[in-house]
Amino acid sequence: MHRLVATILSILFILPSVAQNAVDTTVVESRFKAGELIMPLSLVGMGTLGFVEPVRSARFEVRDFLDEWRGDHRTTVDDYLQYVPLASVYGLSLLGAEAKHGYVDRTLELATSYVAMGIMVNAVKYTVRAERPNGSAFNSFPSGHTATTFMGAELVRIEYGDDSPWYSVGAYTIAIAVGALRVYNDHHWFTDVFAGAGLGILSARIGYWLLPYTRKAMHKITGWDAFVYPSVSYEGATLGVAMRF
């Protein structure tokens, strides 16, 4: 039992380094590469193993172990922590980090990623209808909280990974913590977390791949280009918008 828990934690803690090496971030413009699908789809595949033996039985062992160890203690910090990587997509540049794209492009990238994630996660949730470990609902697979935070972590890696690998490490550490807390709080099986992580990373990649097209679509629809820029002073922070009609 303890060996199984140690194995799961080991897999989770190598995710940042795997993500760092799985994608070529030296190209500024989005370029789809089939190899970039390997890691997210592998994580989703690991998640689906929760429906077959012996992994299915292992899920119950992990739940029972945590129930005994945790008792009645729960936390809601994961409900808020899931959004920290998403906020960092903007916040890190306000603190001086150098992002790969401007604010408008990052907004398009994030919006496309969020839509892709919402479609994929909810389509699977309400098709599979897996029961949560606490028996509260039938929408356990995959973990939406985990998908959200891993999407944000991957976007941080895409935007700031070239500036410093520590931004990626920090964002992925938070994402791993959220996934672990979803299991700790008895909201998800550990396999739900793997699948959620995979779909979150895939969603971020989709937003990045489609950026040239969403950028062109925005220009075609609106007829203008926009540049969003922050300004920070002793009096506070503001966000400016410059438009070219």
Averaged pLDDT, 124-133: 97
Asked if residue 11 has pLDDT above 80, the reply is no
Cα distance between residue 167 and residue 230, in whole Å? 20
Asked if residue 32 has pLDDT above 60, the reply is yes
Helix (H) or strand (E) holding 236: strand 236-244
The angle that helices 211-222 and 103-128 make with each other, rounded to 10 degrees, is 110
pLDDT band at 239 (very low <50, low <70, confident <90, very high): very low
Classify strands 236-244 and 225-233 as parallel, antiparallel or unpaired.
antiparallel
Per-residue pLDDT tens over the stretch 156-169: 999 999 999 999 99
Q: Note if the bond before 212 is cis, omega within 30 degrees.
A: no
Per CATH, the number for 37-211 is: 1.20.144
pLDDT band at 204 (very low <50, low <70, confident <90, very high): very high
CB 143 within 8 A of CB 151: no
Domain extents in the chain: 37-211
Mean pLDDT over the full length of the chain? 84
pLDDT band at 4 (very low <50, low <70, confident <90, very high): very low
